Homo-oligomer: A and B are copies of this chain.
Amino acid sequence: MKNTTTARERLIQATFELLERQGYHGTGLNQIIKESGAPKGSLYYYFPNGKEELVSRAIGEQGKALADRIRRALEGVQDPAEAVYSMMLHLAEKLEQSKCTKAGSFAAVALETSNTSEMLRETINKTYDAFISAIQGMLLAHGFSEARAVQIATLITASMEGAVVLCRTKKSTEPLRHIAQEMKHLLRSAIAENDAGS
């Protein structure tokens, strides 16, 4: 079968990167074609439902891959506070590589389309759930209650997404580094408190 999927893969990759820089409605199919180098005829061959389907696949596949990386990175860590700190700094470094021009595709597409496309909304919803679930798993392994673990995992996910918005706006990774520092501090207290109460 060789690499008959390379046109499809190039389309997915180019779509995701453009979403990170311009969001959903800011990204045209012609631009995706041009950027990917994929033949235009391939787009509707691989994604018969057009833009909505292409973006849903791009978001879904990249989101799943990212959630898996998060899960693996947090598996078996001995200090959740340090692990969260590292995860946030890692995101900051990734952002820095693009000079704060590429990040936040999930948030952008969510805000632009959650009222008009159930398909996209559900894809992103599953992605965010996977992020939260990965973080929650680590917290459960360290003695937090189910309820508390969800709360903290939601806070970590939300603060990262929000900090990415601030970084894009400020053209600086400072906000991300600030929340990384602060969350490490707060989580240390929460862990100590939780361990004492066991």
How many residues of A are in contact with the other chain, CB < 8 A? 52
Judging by beta carbons under 8 Å apart, are A182 and B110 in contact? no
Q: Is A171's CB within 8 Å of the partner chain B?
A: yes
Residue of B nearest to A121 (CB): B169
Which chain B positions have C-beta within 8 A of A159? Answer: 155, 158-159, 162, 179
Which of A169, A178, A189 has the most B CB atoms < 10 Å from its CB?
A169
Main secondary structure of the interface of A (DSSP, over half): helix
Judging by beta carbons under 8 Å apart, are B125 and A170 in contact? yes
A160-197 contacts to B, CB under 8 A, are 160-163, 165-166, 168-171, 175, 178-179, 181-183, 185-186, 189-190, 193
Name A's B-contacting residues (CB within 8 A): 21-26, 101, 104, 106-108, 110-116, 121, 124-125, 128, 148, 150-152, 154-155, 157-163, 165-166, 168-171, 175, 178-179, 181-183, 185-186, 189-190, 193
